[in-house]
Every structure is written in C-alpha cells, then in structure tokens.
Amino acid sequence: MRVISKSRLKEFWERPNCGDSEGPLRAWYTHVNNRNVQWQNWGDVEAEFGSADTVGNCVVFNIAGNKYRLITRILYPGQKVFILKVMAHSEYDENKWQADCGCFSPPPKKARKK
C-alpha cells in the first residue's frame, strides 16, 4: 500500500500534548506503507487490524491503545491509503469529523481522458 500523506501524521504528533502518538503513528505508517501489504478489501484490513472500523467510506484505526483515532480512505484498486484526519478519542466522539472527512459522500468521479 502507499500511504498519502505522512505529513498529516507528523503535524498531529507535533501538536502540544500529542507527542506520545509519534511512536504508534510511525509504526502504523511503516507497516501499512510497505509494498508487501496489498489489501484487496475490508476483510484484509480487518485481518491485520482487528480493532479498525468502517464508517461510511472511511476506515478508522485505533492508535496508541485507542487513545487516538486515525481516519483514512482506502482505494483498494490503486493500493492507496489517504490520511484524512488524526484526532484524540474525545474529539472523535463528538462525531463532527464525519462531515469533514466526507465519510458518507460518494467517491469522487474519475476524470475522463480527452
């Protein structure tokens, strides 16, 4: 898989009081951003990350023992994982992120080649 973009993870762990997320986020990134990881569907993700959940079109990963949540969109055919948002569990529980991340919006349409 190819994770896009690591900078969102870094921005989060550099926030005040979020430094303890750096190790777990780096470990998640290193694991997922490996060309040997080739998820074909939700079942493949769930087999590796049993605590992950789907919310609409998004996949939510528990980070650092469920202290943080990592919201992603996975495009299985293209083997890409897009980082949409990282947040503390308390922020996740507010449910404002679902609209921000477009979890219940249809996927963008492919641009037609001319």
Q: Which residue has the tokens 């973009």?
A: 5
**Are 19 and 32 spatial neighbours (Cβ–Cβ below 8 Å)?**
no
Q: Which residue has the tokens 């948002």?
A: 85
- The pLDDT value recorded for residue 49 is 95
Q: What's this model's pTM, rounded to 2 decimal places?
A: 0.86
pLDDT of 113 over the 70 cut? no
Share of the chain above pLDDT 90, in %: 71
DSSP state, 97? H
Q: Mean pLDDT for the chain? A: 89
**55-110 pLDDT, tens per residue?**
988 999 999 988 999 999 999 999 999 999 999 988 887 877 877 777 777 666 66
Walk me through the domains of the chain, giving residue ranges and CATH numbers.
Answer: 2-96 (3.30.2310.20)
**Neighbouring residues of 109: CB distance < 8 A, sequence distance ≥ 6:** none
Sorting pLDDT into bands at 50, 70 and 90, what band is 38? very high
- Other C-beta atoms lying within 10 Å of the C-beta of residue 62: 19
